[in-house]
């Protein structure tokens, strides 16, 4: 007997990590954060997950996370730093951690956008990690690559851009979701007041 092509069963949305009530990242996928405030955006996502976060950064770059800033948004003890000495080990390390399904978030601070094939490998590794983690009751892993400038990694699930827009007496950032497979472009103003972050809708000027 042939099976029907359509079903009336409700569609199940993919599991997602939500931060600040409105920012959503599909789990078991790889996403991109770019712009001068990309590290701050990554900390916001790290604060939204439960459990350890692995942060991968090149050993040869002088820039490092400032511990006091990390402590403002998450317990520093949750952060595990990995500093590969070879460029090819940055994405390899991320892929292996995603495949293990051992942590909910893996961040890789890259010197430039990766190509389509490495990103596809990250997606597959995250999906494998989600299956392994499900057996242990863990949340699906999520990969976040940080790229300079306007980014441009091919094949990512979504791309976000964040830049500072501070003025005297006001601390805020311009945040854009520039592309996503399941959501339109959107923009916000992110404002810090008394140690609390608040989102305000903003005109969308994403390319």
pLDDT per residue as tens digits for the range 88-124 = 999 999 999 999 999 999 999 999 999 999 999 999 9
The average pLDDT across 36-49 equals: 95
The domain 20-160 is placed in CATH, from the list 3.40.50.300, 3.40.190.10, 3.30.420.40, 3.20.20.150, at 3.40.50.300
Query: Which of 120, 126, 75 lies closest to 96, judged by CA?
Result: 126
Instruction: Domain ranges for the chain, please list them.
Output: 20-160
Q: Name the 3-class secondary structure at 120.
A: helix
Tokens of 187: 């923009």
Q: Give the angle 193-174-179 at the CA atoms, nearest 5°.
A: 135
The average pLDDT across 113-142 equals: 94
The average pLDDT across 115-138 equals: 94
Q: What is the spatial distance between Cα 81 and Cα 55, in angstroms, rounded to a whole number? A: 5
Cβ–Cβ < 8 Å for 109, 39: yes
Report pTM. 0.90
CB-facing half-sphere around the CA of 154: CA atoms within 13 A = 7
């Amino acid at each position: 007997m042939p099976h029907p092509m359509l079903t009336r069963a409700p569609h199940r949305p993919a599991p997602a990590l939500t931060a600040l009530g409105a920012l959503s990242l599909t789990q078991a996928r790889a996403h991109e954060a770019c712009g001068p405030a990309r590290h701050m955006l990554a900390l916001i996502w790290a604060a939204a997950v439960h459990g350890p976060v692995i942060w991968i950064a090149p050993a040869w770059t002088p820039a490092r996370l400032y511990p006091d800033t990390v402590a403002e948004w998450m317990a520093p003890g949750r952060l595990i730093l990995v500093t590969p000495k070879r460029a090819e080990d940055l994405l390899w390390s991320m892929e292996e951690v995603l495949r293990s399904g051992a942590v909910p978030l893996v961040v890789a601070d890259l010197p430039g956008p990766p190509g389509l094939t490495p990103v596809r490998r990250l997606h597959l590794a995250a999906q494998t990690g989600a299956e392994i983690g499900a057996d242990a009751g863990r949340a699906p892993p999520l990969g976040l690559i940080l790229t300079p400038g306007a980014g441009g990694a091919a094949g990512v699930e979504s791309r976000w851009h964040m830049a500072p827009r501070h003025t005297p007496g006001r601390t805020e950032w311009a945040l854009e979701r520039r592309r996503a497979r399941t959501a339109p472009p959107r923009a916000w103003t992110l404002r810090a007041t008394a140690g609390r972050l608040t989102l305000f809708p903003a005109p969308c000027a994403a390319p």
